[in-house]
Amino acid sequence: MLELLLASAELVGPLESIFGDFAEVGPMVAIGIPLVGAFVIGLLGRWPNIREAATVVTALLLLHTVVAMIPDALLYGTPSGGDTIIFKEVVPGLPLAFHIEPLGLIYALIAASLWILNSFYSMGYMRAHHERNQTRFYVCFALALSSVMGIAFSANAFTLFIFYEALTLSTFPLVSHAGTAHARRSARTYLGVLVSTSVGFLMVGIISTWLLTGNLDFTQGGVFREFLASEEISPAVVGTLFALYIYGIGKAALMPMHRWLPAAMVAPTPVSALLHAVAVVKAGVFSVLKVTVYLFGIDSLREVAAAIIGGDWVVYMACFTILAASGIAMYQDNLKRRLAYSTVSQLSYIILGAALLTPMGIQGGALHMAMHAFGKITLFFCAGAIYVAHHKTEISDMRGLGRKMPLTMLAFLLGTLSIIGLPPMGGAWSKWYLLLGSLDAQHKFVFAVLIISSLMNIAYLLPISIRAFFSEPPPAHDEHDEHDEHDEHDAHHDDHHGSFWLERFGLQEAPALCVVPLCLTALACIYLFVNPDPFLELAQAIRFN
Amino acid sequence: MIAENLPVLVVILPLFGGLIASMLPGRDAPWVWASVITAAVFGMALQLVAAVHAAPNGIIDYNLGAWPAEYGIGYRVDHLNSYVILIVALVAFLTTIYARHSVADEIPDDRHRFFWAVWLLALVGLLGITITGDTFNIYVLLEISSLTVYTLIAMGKSRDRRALTASLKYLILGSIGATFILLGIGYLLMLTGTLNMADMHDQLVRMAEAGELADNRTLFVAFAFLVVGLSMKMALFPLHMWLPDAYTYAPSPVSAFVAATATKVGVYMAFRFIFTIFGGVYASEASLMLIGLCAGAGIIISSLRAITVVNVKRVLAYSSVGQLGYIVLGFSLGTREGVTASVIHVFNHAIIKGGMFMALGCVALRLGGTNLRHMRGLGKRMPWTMGAFTVGGMGLIGFPLTSGFISKWYLLQAAWQEGMWWAVIVVVLGGLLALIYIWRVIEAAWFTDPDPELQSLSVAREAPLSMLIPTWIMAAAVIWFGLDGEFTVSTAEKAAAILLGGAG
């Protein structure tokens, strides 16, 4: 896959000639493309087709830019050797600075590649639904991606924080898109939890780090090593700071800071799919990984964990979140909510990977960012497709749906298997590495939790597709009641939004623009098992000290 | 000739300009005249800043009528007040350009020339206070600026008659405050025999070294009177009662102008009295701690109040009390970092709040009101206006990449370094409360459908360019100084060095 991507980059590759030495400006180009794209999309609001074309072109350019940076990331940064690119000094000593490294590139690559598919899916979904304010929707999407790139390539905690907040702001209009009282209330929860955690804990943590060490740069081995060695800063202080970061990064949804994620499900499904299964939540766990590896350093954190009682509390908190969120997910009848709780649980796998403080755990976490992204976006795409074609949101109504939507439900099954972590799905790899990491860290308890969690995943995800294929569909009149109950604003332009392209086979699938992307992501899950590169290669390129 | 006399010209020009404005006929002539004068003042303020930077020790002394400063009136310009002058001149210039349509809309035609005359005189007062090095002169100019601002606020009466009571309330409380300040100055004169600030400080130092100041009641009383009087002037909680009404019912351009400058000049006076005069001779830690606590309480209580009111102008007024709390909290730490944070926020809050009041003025012009229900769905009708408001709101909350973030960053650092954990919590909490009261407006403007009962909204269109451009200059400044804090931070650091170095 890597070769393929690189070849495509060579093929289209005139960016190099425009921007000169690419690695010097790559991150800035990656941030700039969606930003310019957002502007163009905004201008083209009157012509929906051209507007969507602009989105797709922007997404393609972005992917191209990100892919072109893979070799640099494997070599750590620019050819001149891991230099950071300083964009602008905001206050003396604290610049907006970017660098290219493997962990960030994994994240950027996930977001950029899935954005393309998601753009097509959005077209299908938003048009089938006659949603309002579509221009705002696409503009904010592009802005969110720009923030994502800023997070992915940030070279210091200050820059990370700035783009982290920008991501919260740019996604707010997407969450409150429907404009109903319910949507606004949920969006307030979203904003409230994310901003109060980041301002209350993360910002205080960053300022404290800055005042204690005078250094916020992400460096190999972290900034605390010498201070710990010389006992200038006590392990307890470092441990407290780490807690401020872990809970300050509310996007990682470690319990009890997870409430915003189910609230965000009020957004249109493409938003839930790309942002709340991929971009935003991965921004959280990516930040956790990045801070763990490059700001604190796993060696320093291991010292801290050994020095203070309960120093490895994050491991237990993550385990708790994994199990508790899975437990809650079992009782959710609303499909999107069940998926949201599943995401909360899965995110803690990645936090767990970071908290194990072993290279294997970190690699597993990094890999899981990618694998979970492809699996979960498939599930959300399917949820959206079911809603578009049949207006169903509750799992109990989806019995027998596999007969009408075999492609969608098959993709759902594949996504489910990947989330569970069964071969031949990409998810198997990350779970494998996480299990190895837990053994590496001598945490038999964690090993057990991971296994139990897999069983719970099976229990709450697999029945959905099984019932869809093997149960009898509910009587028709029920369907109508549900419909009226759940989407009042859709009631008047009733029935069938799906195209009729599969109807000759007696199927009622969603429009092609919805179905094709979800099939592609499902296939990608399989492909990532056969060939987990470039994600595996990038994850293995992370250096820890 | 002009270059040497810049310090006095900055004050004299609007003084005579104001007198002439009162004689100009019609609606546009006084406005054009005021624009020319404020533009000239702004130009001179820029030159003054450049001159201060060029001066060897960063200080320009100017004696009026060439009398020695001990007898006559001495002006002294340094990094601190050239910066405040720049803020005042900039805001005055932009709001003057901006005010044309607003004034035409809100002030009766026959009063325009008086409006502009008083407007320029208010500018005289604010600039004079900032530039002078003479305490009695401060008092005189303080009265000029106060009386003119009372008048300006009262001119809001044709839109809302409550402007009259607001103005009266301010008049009474402001006069009490000014009297306190006068008494404080009087006691200092009694003690030191001089009115010149630098000289006053030198005398106090000499007396302190001679041991004359131990348990000196006069010094204590002078300090107490000054601090209370200044708190009244800068609307420090709980002496802020005049401010919400005054800002709410004043004509829109007046709100913008006064909110961005008047309290800032009050803060400047506090800097001068507390640090330049009393610095090093009076143990002010306990008093500073007390006003720090007042500021902290002000941040929380006024922000909570701002969450409950429905008139957005009033929301901003309460927010001003809270934001002033940040400024006071900063310098009440008494450290160099604290004063730096404070000076940074003086500038940042001026541009943020100025811009937001200007945006509200645009709304008032088009919709005739600034209640929350007027805001509903306004993002579609007046995107540029609400865009500027949103940018300013982000600044108030302290979102990254706005200038408000820089202020907050430095303030948190200062509090952290002093180990003042309650201050850290207050600042963080204040930001979150700001998020709530600003977000109500943002949500109404961008994510809600218009109020169907409101007829004026359906015909509302974007504000005229002469209002939008100044508003957006402010909004752009909020972003610009959020991206590049170099200018504000370095100037504030120099200013803090001047204040805490004990030099007068």
What is the spatial distance between Cα B321 and Cα B214, in angstroms, rounded to a whole number? 36
- Which residue of chain A has the CA closest to B344? A91
Answer yes or no: is pLDDT of A82 > 80.
no
Cβ-Cβ contacts under 8 Å, A179 against chain B: 447-449
Cβ-Cβ contacts under 8 Å, B424 against chain A: 204
Give contacts of A 210-249 with B, CB under 8 A: 210-211
What was the pLDDT predicted at A485? Answer: 42
The band of A149, judged by pLDDT with boundaries at 50, 70 and 90, is very high
The band of A541, judged by pLDDT with boundaries at 50, 70 and 90, is confident
The band of A324, judged by pLDDT with boundaries at 50, 70 and 90, is very high
- Which residue of chain A has the CA closest to B482? A90
What is the spatial distance between Cα B450 and Cα B437, in angstroms, rounded to a whole number? 19
What is the spatial distance between Cα B358 and Cα B362, in angstroms, rounded to a whole number? 6
What is the spatial distance between Cα B383 and Cα B463, in angstroms, rounded to a whole number? 10
**Residues A497-514, mean pLDDT to the nearest whole number:** 66
Q: What string of DSSP letters covers B321-351?
A: HHHHHHHHHHHHT-SHHHHHHHHHHHHHHHH
A145 with A279: CB under 8 angstroms?
yes
- Which residue of chain B has the CA closest to A89? B484
Helices (H) and strands (E) in chain A, counts: 26, 2
**First-to-last CA distance in chain A?**
29
What is the spatial distance between Cα B104 and Cα B71, in angstroms, rounded to a whole number? 45
**Residues B62-91, mean pLDDT to the nearest whole number:** 83
Q: Which of B435, B447, B490 sits opposite A179 (nearest CB)?
A: B447
- A292 alpha carbon, distance to own chain's centre: 18
SS3 at position B76: strand
**Residues A110-137, mean pLDDT to the nearest whole number:** 86
- Which residue of chain B has the CA closest to A176? B447
What was the pLDDT predicted at B9? Answer: 85
Give contacts of A 311-350 with B, CB under 8 A: none
The band of B327, judged by pLDDT with boundaries at 50, 70 and 90, is very high
B482 Cβ under 8 Å from any chain A Cβ: yes
What is this structure's pTM? 0.88
B448 Cβ under 8 Å from any chain A Cβ: yes
Q: What is the nearest CA distance from A469 to chain B, expressed in angstroms?
A: 41
Verify whether the Cβ–Cβ distance B489 to A88 is below 8 Å: no
Answer yes or no: is pLDDT of B502 > 50.
no
Answer yes or no: is pLDDT of B503 > 50.
no
What was the pLDDT predicted at B456? Answer: 64
The band of A480, judged by pLDDT with boundaries at 50, 70 and 90, is very low
Which of B483, B477, B471 has the alpha carbon at shortest distance from B387? B471
Q: What is the nearest CA distance from B231 to chain A, expressed in angstroms?
A: 29
Share the mean pLDDT of chain A: 83
Residue bearing the bigger pLDDT, A373 or A23 = A373
Count how many pairs of residues, chain A against chain B, have C-beta atoms within 8 Å. 67
Verify whether the Cβ–Cβ distance B484 to A203 is below 8 Å: no
What is the spatial distance between Cα A159 and Cα A438, in angstroms, rounded to a whole number? 32
Q: Which of A176, A192, A200 sits opposite B428 (nearest CB)?
A: A200
Which of B216, B226, B212 has the alpha carbon at shortest distance from B181? B226
Cβ-Cβ contacts under 8 Å, B482 against chain A: 90
With vertex at residue A192, the alpha carbon angle to CA A191 and CA A194, rounded to the nearest 5 degrees, is 65
What is the spatial distance between Cα B427 and Cα A513, in angstroms, rounded to a whole number? 48
Q: What is the nearest CA distance from A141 to chain B, expressed in angstroms?
A: 16
- Which residue of chain B has the CA closest to A174? B447
Q: Which of A85-94, B129-138, B391-400 has the lowest mean pLDDT?
A: A85-94
Q: Which of A162-166, A491-495, A505-509 has the lowest mean pLDDT?
A: A491-495
B300 with B337: CB under 8 angstroms?
no
Residue bearing the bigger pLDDT, A15 or A427 = A427
B398 with A165: CB under 8 angstroms?
no
Verify whether the Cβ–Cβ distance B439 to A188 is below 8 Å: yes
Q: How many CA atoms does the CB half-sphere of A147 hold within 13 Å?
A: 25
Q: Which of A238-247, A312-321, A394-403 has the lowest mean pLDDT?
A: A394-403
Q: Where are the domains of chain A?
A: 2-475+497-540
What was the pLDDT predicted at A476? Answer: 59
The band of A24, judged by pLDDT with boundaries at 50, 70 and 90, is low
Q: Which of A9-13, A345-349, B414-418 has the lowest mean pLDDT?
A: A9-13
Most A-contacting residue of B390, B396, B407, B412 (CB-CB within 10 A), to test interface: B412
Verify whether the Cβ–Cβ distance B401 to A200 is below 8 Å: no
What was the pLDDT predicted at A16? Answer: 53
The band of A167, judged by pLDDT with boundaries at 50, 70 and 90, is very high
What was the pLDDT predicted at A502? Answer: 60
State pLDDT tens for residues B423-472. 899 999 998 999 999 998 998 888 888 877 776 666 678 888 888 899 99
Please report, rounded to a whole number, the percentage of residues in chain A having pLDDT higher than 70: 88
Residue bearing the bigger pLDDT, B281 or A205 = A205
State pLDDT tens for residues A201-235. 999 899 999 988 888 888 887 888 888 888 888 88
What was the pLDDT predicted at B89? Answer: 92
- Which residue of chain B has the CA closest to A209? B413
What was the pLDDT predicted at A506? Answer: 64
Share the mean pLDDT of chain B: 87
Cβ-Cβ contacts under 8 Å, A169 against chain B: 394, 399
**Residues B84-93, mean pLDDT to the nearest whole number:** 91
Q: Where are the alpha helices (DSSP H) in A487-530?
A: 512-530
**Residues A54-58, mean pLDDT to the nearest whole number:** 89
